[in-house]
Every structure is written in structure tokens, then in C-alpha cells.
Amino acid sequence: MEYIYAAMILHASAKEINEENVKKILEAAGVDVDEARVKALVASLENIDIEDAIKTAAMPVAGAAPAAAGAAPAAEEAPAEEEEEEEEEASEEEALEGLGALFG
């Protein structure tokens, strides 16, 4: 996660997301830098429009409410299963909300 945060910091400060800059941020944060992970991060972000990704991450989860409504009849048959699904959906929504906060 700290590798992604490093890339986000670079993006927010209008700096180039490259291996050297990512390493500097991670080292400044006291992270034991894994060269392979840094290379993989930089390579995976090469053709990504980060602004577009931020906007997409900030959008509400499409279809979340209909999925919950469709699961309602199954709740009578398997309440424990529904509770697990609700917890998973809630944690996914929280994660997306957290990403939205990080991106703007």
C-alpha cells in the first residue's frame, strides 16, 4: 500500500512517477524498499491516467443496491451467509470511500 501512496504523493506534487522518486519517498518514510515492487509499480502506472482513475474510484459502486435487494429473499434461507456478504460489501464500500478521500 505504501508504494501506491508514494505514487499518489508524486502525482499530487506534479512530480514524475519514476523509480528514483518512488524510492526516495519510501526511504524517507522508513520503508525497506523492494526494488522489484518499485519497478512493477512504475511499469503498471506507465499508461494510466491517474486523474481518470481517481474520478472512477470516487464514484459510488454501481449496482450495489440492486445486488442487496436481490439477496433479500435468500436472507430468510441463509442469514449467516447474508451477514458475511453485507460485511464484504460494507468493507468494499469503505475501501472505495477511503480511496475517494485520498484522491480528492
Q: Nearest CA to 71 among 60, 63, 82? A: 82
**Cell 480511496 appears where?**
99
Report whether pLDDT(89) > 70. Answer: no
The pLDDT assigned to 97 comes to 61
pLDDT per residue as tens digits for the range 30-84: 999 999 999 999 999 999 898 888 888 877 655 555 555 555 554 455 556 666 6
Decide: pTM greater than 0.75.
no
- Taking the domains of the chain in order of start, what are their residue ranges? 1-48, 59-104
The pLDDT assigned to 92 comes to 62
Of 34 and 95, more confident: 34
Task: Return the CATH number of the domain spanning residue range 1-48.
Answer: 1.10.10.1410
